Structure 1
């Protein structure tokens, strides 16, 4: 089946790694189809760029993904300005027609479609020389990685889903749901293909920001094994990233990752760069609210999180009481201890460990300013610009979204070791993460159960607000008991049962049910 290639220049301009303005001069673009257009390494590159561009589309990192994961995982709590369907995420009142859930589902399948196109068309291009051959291998491998990431989201959030294995299958309008085992097998296969062809690093890192690397694919494969409880296989992948040729390490200060956008650092394994590539003259700063590929957004690849979460801006959310309280716990002597990472994570009062000043690095005026907790409550500091500017003023944050970073890898490796009975090997990994932020080092992790509790806490503290906790709670099987206990502590007078058994998976979107009869007949209780 032939597909018309319409406005590919617009797709390519959602670039993670640049955009070729020469496309503006192509004659009769609408006369192309997928067989006649994607015939050179240059056009395959455009298709890869358009696939990366979906990371900034509805449901993902320009907007929505932070709401979806932080509110359902109770790391963020709704403030009064938070309205509409986003508010439903906070109390699990969402339904199969929920807009953001539907958008994430749709965008994930768009990623698989475009990635499959790249893989199919690149295989048919005859390279003119070794350089072209190397480029085609790289582009294909990037597509495999992006496809696997989309499939990872689908299987972890929805379980059994239709899976489009290749481009020729896209001509099949309806596909049934595959088993979770089949989807995981596809994720593993796609990541193996990605690992085989991706570079350890790019020759020009500044020009290739955001591109997947071999290390990113290895990390995602290890994570996929961990989620399936294949602990030995997971550990083997993570351990690769701790030694040459990989040079990952922890940056000295978390602020290097979360209060300003880094150009390059040793901790990032895979991230989504946010940048105003061409200036606001090329598009509206509010492009994230519309159709990002058709609203004249130009080259802007920014995120609205800082503005929407910002206490000195739109004030849509607080950091949850449960997240704040987790930073105060007992040390090994049984004494109350406030973890120093609290100051990097949220603004609050001295007792909570939160940062009590902001604008510490602003220029001009009498600064820093005191943070007035009374009336503001506890508010996010991570992913906010307030150490460098008083207000965000527009939804134009350029603080990169961390998808996988080295601290996460170390903690996942520690978890794999603990579940394989290698508790002693997990101890230095956890302590490496803790001591980076000057938290005390554990002398022992105790029994397997005690070690897992420490890892669970460590992941909650270190990765707070990074869209990780929901996934952790679900895969550990403790989401219902944990989240309902947190909600009950916050709303003791409420008789509502917030998290129900069905919420371990998102509802299959109503749009899929209405258009795919093979899926519609396979949904239980109008949910999943």
Structure 2
């Protein structure tokens, strides 16, 4: 929050949309031609709606559509540069002065600031409808929780900013991860009560949060906290919405969980004025900027995820180098249109499978695992041993979510597997304290109440 020089710096982030025609009609609103006071913004529904859209717009940034995949994949055991030359991230030698880490930190807090602004502005307004006000506040709380999920998992103890008042937030000390998770759970529980249960308000486009997005993130958070029963309950709540969500089968170029508004997508980030994703056009291209570290050995023979979501990479002489992620396949102007996918149904099956194993529901866990394996054209599991099933779930998560939203890095962290997994890799200079990223040096310099993470 150090970059906010005045109280109003980010209040009007949605004015970034001025002059831009969205490719998503549900986000098209008539915006004012110049900046308005906060009271004016939240005096009418069109401008208040624009402010909410501004939170989502603030997520169309390098962290959410690039580095959450590529940087976290490199610090884990997932991605390596195609060049074969280790960098700061793949070697886990990130300095506190690294500009990329600072940008990630700032972008997450910018989204939080915009969410806080909506919560405050809508709450104070006396002219907005009660129904819409509750929905907008719920959306803001969901997006604030989503941002804090990544902040606390990447940096540990972080400032818990719940206001737009810079006099309060500028010198906030770090809150414990326990307290951050408490706020995340509170925000998501509140959001689940007031978010819509369908996408009718958004022309059926899955580009804004619903009740089921909140329930999906509640399932994930409870899994991370070891609350198995709660994780399973929230996952089941989403899985049971069979009229809205279905696992995509018969994977192919025109049938994937990353295509716009597909049946598996729970929440996707819209892009503005373009018909491609940054993932498909710049991060995970057919040229292979990054290779999967484990290559073909990650997959069983016949796995449809390898067939459809990876591409073979060769050098100019035709020598095979490895396989690269290619989940997002539409480059500039290609079809079908895809969107950066934040939450999808497959995760809920694997969350529930793990929660069921840990609750000794072996049959239920097998059924959930098999939903994912069968979609990949793999046979049912017959494993019954608890540890073997947990290992299989971890492997299926690695296969299902490679190069996607940092799942592998976060899974290794939450299961305590970072040290044993990464310390044996020759290209990593691994220390146990590398499990957290460094608090950016500019943040430390501007706030004397911040303490750098151990090891930096």
TM range (shorter): 0.7 to 0.9
The aligned residue for residue 3 of structure 2 is: none
- The verdict on how the C-alpha distance between 1:82 and 1:121 changes in structure 2, with shifts beyond 3 A counting, is farther
- Report 1:173-188 matches (<5 A): 173-188=170-185
1:345 is the counterpart of 2:343 = no
Q: Is the 8 A contact 1:219 1:237 kept in 2?
A: yes
Gaps of 5+ in 1: 278-299, 329-336, 350-355, 357-370, 386-391, 489-495
SS for the counterpart of 1:71 is helix
The aligned residue for residue 353 of structure 1 is: none
The aligned residue for residue 450 of structure 1 is: 388
The aligned residue for residue 500 of structure 1 is: 431
The aligned residue for residue 412 of structure 2 is: 473
Deviation at 1:408, TM superposition (A): 0.9
Distance 2:85 2:57 in 1: 27
The aligned residue for residue 310 of structure 1 is: 285
Of structures 1 and 2, the one scoring higher in RCO (CA 8 A, sep 6+) is: 2
- The verdict on how the C-alpha distance between 1:231 and 1:344 changes in structure 2, with shifts beyond 3 A counting, is same
Match for residue 523 of structure 1 among 425, 437, 452: 452
- The verdict on how the C-alpha distance between 1:168 and 1:397 changes in structure 2, with shifts beyond 3 A counting, is farther
SS for the counterpart of 2:124 is coil
Deviation at 1:111, TM superposition (A): 1.1
- Report 1:136-147 matches (<5 A): 136-147=133-144
- The verdict on how the C-alpha distance between 1:397 and 1:440 changes in structure 2, with shifts beyond 3 A counting, is closer
Distance 1:36 1:435 in 2: 53
The aligned residue for residue 110 of structure 2 is: 110
Distance 2:339 2:57 in 1: 14
Distance 2:256 2:413 in 1: 29
The aligned residue for residue 326 of structure 1 is: 298
Deviations 1:305-364 (Å, cap 9, x if unpaired)?
53343244xx422232x1431114xxxxxxxx5534321222239xxxxxx9xxxxxxxx
Distance 2:241 2:291 in 1: 41
Cα RMSD of the aligned pairs, angstroms, is 3.1
The aligned residue for residue 425 of structure 1 is: 364
Deviation at 1:380, TM superposition (A): 2.6
Match for residue 78 of structure 1 among 77, 81, 90: 81
Distance 2:391 2:289 in 1: 31
SS for the counterpart of 2:263 is coil
Q: Is the 8 A contact 2:158 2:174 kept in 1?
A: yes
- The verdict on how the C-alpha distance between 1:501 and 1:138 changes in structure 2, with shifts beyond 3 A counting, is same
Distance 1:466 1:250 in 2: 17
1:415 is the counterpart of 2:354 = yes
- The verdict on how the C-alpha distance between 1:307 and 1:169 changes in structure 2, with shifts beyond 3 A counting, is closer
Distance 2:279 2:334 in 1: 4
Distance 2:349 2:58 in 1: 28
| Aligned positions, number | 445
- Report 1:359-398 matches (<5 A): 374-375=319-320, 377-385=322-330, 392=331
- The verdict on how the C-alpha distance between 1:323 and 1:68 changes in structure 2, with shifts beyond 3 A counting, is same
Distance 2:255 2:77 in 1: 20
Distance 2:290 2:285 in 1: 8
Deviations 1:245-288 (Å, cap 9, x if unpaired)?
763210113336887962322211122234535xxxxxxxxxxx
Distance 1:158 1:219 in 2: 23
Match for residue 8 of structure 2 among 3, 25, 30: 3
Distance 1:274 1:195 in 2: 25
- The verdict on how the C-alpha distance between 1:478 and 1:182 changes in structure 2, with shifts beyond 3 A counting, is same
Match for residue 227 of structure 1 among 196, 200, 224: 224
Q: Is the 8 A contact 2:219 2:232 kept in 1?
A: yes
- The verdict on how the C-alpha distance between 1:155 and 1:35 changes in structure 2, with shifts beyond 3 A counting, is same
Distance 1:273 1:446 in 2: 42
SS for the counterpart of 2:409 is helix
SS for the counterpart of 1:344 is helix
**TM-score normalised according to structure 2 size:** 0.88
Gaps of 5+ in 2: 1-5
Q: Is the 8 A contact 2:257 2:263 kept in 1?
A: no
- The verdict on how the C-alpha distance between 1:396 and 1:319 changes in structure 2, with shifts beyond 3 A counting, is farther
Stretch deviating more after TM superposition (469-478 or 7-16): 7-16
Structure ID, larger Rg: 1
- The verdict on how the C-alpha distance between 1:35 and 1:95 changes in structure 2, with shifts beyond 3 A counting, is same
Distance 1:101 1:499 in 2: 18
Distance 1:135 1:307 in 2: 37
Distance 1:427 1:209 in 2: 30
Q: Is the 8 A contact 2:433 2:455 kept in 1?
A: no
- The verdict on how the C-alpha distance between 1:202 and 1:19 changes in structure 2, with shifts beyond 3 A counting, is same
Stretch deviating more after TM superposition (3-12 or 265-274): 3-12
Deviations 1:205-249 (Å, cap 9, x if unpaired)?
446441011101001011111111111111111111122476321
